[in-house]
Amino acid sequence: MKHLATKVALLAVLLLLPNLGMGFPNLPLVDPPLKNKIGWNLESNGLLYVSFDLDHNGRADYHTVHFVIKTYLTGEPLKQLPGFYKGSPVFYVNYGPANKIYVISKKALFYAFDVNEDGTWDLMYKDVNEDGVNGNETFYDSPSNMFSVPAQYSGNLN
């Protein structure tokens, strides 16, 4: 039912979507388990983006952005790598004999919707406390300009 609710919410947004920037939407943030990810990437800004496909249509529609808190190279075989490091999730890239390990923050700093799944994020929320989705997240930006920035946030994007 949760997936259906998400799908309905995304569909509602798409149906309501005008060509110009629309008002501030109220999309429900979720905190999907990392195991449900469909991809991840270490970006040039040093943050690690994890992608999810909440409506299961094969295309990413939701992303969480995490700090990388530790990186290291190890020659340990893949099967001996930890899934977690002191409770924080671990990602890795295999470079032949070595693995580059990325330990990321347990909870995301940003949550981002890509409602039309075009690769450009449409709505970003910031969670300065990094304590998961619990209502203290704040609107951060609409990189695609799909949504208009609430007056109380304009000029205060940091």
Contacting positions for Ca ion (CB under 5 A): 53, 55, 57, 59, 61, 114, 116, 118, 120, 122, 127, 131, 134, 136, 144
Contact indicator for 117, 124 with CB cutoff of 8 Å: no
* Residue 150 beta carbon to Ca ion: minimum distance, rounded to whole angstroms: 18
Q: Which is nearer to Ca ion, 92 or 127 (CB)?
A: 127
Please give the Cα distance from 143 to 136 (Å, whole number): 21
Neighbours of 99 (CB within 10 A): 18
Q: Which is nearer to Ca ion, 91 or 127 (CB)?
A: 127
Closest to 104 measured CA to CA, from 131, 64, 70: 70
Q: Which is nearer to Ca ion, 34 or 81 (CB)?
A: 34
Please give the Cα distance from 77 to 81 (Å, whole number): 7
* Residue 82 beta carbon to Ca ion: minimum distance, rounded to whole angstroms: 26
Identify the residue whose tokens are 């609107």.
139
* Residue 59 beta carbon to Ca ion: minimum distance, rounded to whole angstroms: 4
* Residue 1 beta carbon to Ca ion: minimum distance, rounded to whole angstroms: 17
